[in-house]
Amino acid sequence: MTRPGAAVLPLLLLLATPAAALEPAEVVDAFEGAGGRITTFRPSHAKGVCAAGEFTPTAEGTRLSVAPTFAGAPVPATIRFGVAGATPRASDVARTTRSLAIRFETAAGDQWDMANISAPIFGARTPEMLVAGLRARRAGPNGQPADPAAVAAFVAANPQSTRQAAWLGQRMPPASFATTPYWGVNAFRFQGRDGEVRHARWVFEPAAGEQRLTEADAARLGPDFLAAELRARVAQAPVAFDMVLQFPAAGDDVTDPTVAWPADRPRATVGRLVVTAVEPGPGGACDPISFLQLDQEPGVAFSDDPVLQGRAAPYAEALSRRTTPR
Ligand code: HEM
In this structure, how many other beta carbons lie within 10 angstroms of the beta carbon of residue 35?
A: 20
Confidence of residue 17 (pLDDT cuts 50, 70, 90): very low
pLDDT in tens, 154-206: 999 999 999 999 999 999 999 999 999 999 999 999 999 999 999 999 999 99
What residue ranges in 64-178 does DSSP mark as E strands? 75-83, 98-105, 111-117
Distance 195 CA to ligand 1 centre (A): 31
Give residue 115 CA to ligand 1 midpoint distance, Å. Answer: 7
Neighbouring-strand partners of residue 239: 275
216 CA distance to ligand 1 middle (Å):
31
pLDDT at 2 over 60: no
Looking at residue 40, the DSSP 8-state letter turns out to be S
State pLDDT tens for residues 309-324: 999 999 999 999 999 9
Per the prediction, the chain carries an average pLDDT of 94
Cα angle value 170/186/57 (rounded, 5°): 105
What is the C-alpha R_g of the chain?
19
In whole angstroms, give the CA distance from residue 46 to residue 146: 20
As annotated, the active-site residues are: 45
Cα 154 from chain centroid (whole Å): 24
Residue 19 has pLDDT above 70, yes or no: no
Q: Domains of the chain: which residue ranges?
A: 9-323
Minimum-distance ligand 1 atom for the alpha carbon of 126: 1
- Where are any strands of DSSP class E within the chain? 47-57, 75-83, 98-105, 111-117, 182-183, 188-191, 197-206, 239-246, 267-278, 300-302
The confidence band for 21, taking pLDDT boundaries of 50, 70 and 90, is confident
Q: Give the DSSP H or E segment for 32.
A: helix 24-35
Q: Where does ligand 1 bind, in terms of residues with CB under 6 Å?
A: 27-28, 31, 42-45, 48, 80, 82, 99, 101, 115-117, 122, 127, 130, 184-186, 257, 290-291, 307, 310-311, 314-315, 318-319, 322
pLDDT band at 298 (very low <50, low <70, confident <90, very high): confident
Atom of ligand 1 nearest to the CA of 183: 30
* Side chain identity, residue 144: Q
Quote the ligand 1 centre to 277 CA distance (angstroms). Answer: 23
The CATH homologous superfamily to which domain 9-323 belongs is Catalase core domain (2.40.180.10)
Kindly give, in sequence order, each residue whose CB lies less than 8 Å from that of residue 18, ignoring residues fewer than 6 positions away: 306, 309, 310
Residue bearing the CA closest to ligand 1, atom 15: 42
Specify the pLDDT at position 325: 84
Helices (H), ranges, 171-311: 215-221, 226-236, 306-309
pLDDT digits (tens, 9 = 90+) for 43-71: 999 999 999 999 999 999 999 999 999 99
Mean pLDDT of 124-135: 98
Sequence-separated (6 or more) residues with CB below 8 Å from residue 278: 49, 50, 51, 227, 230, 231, 234
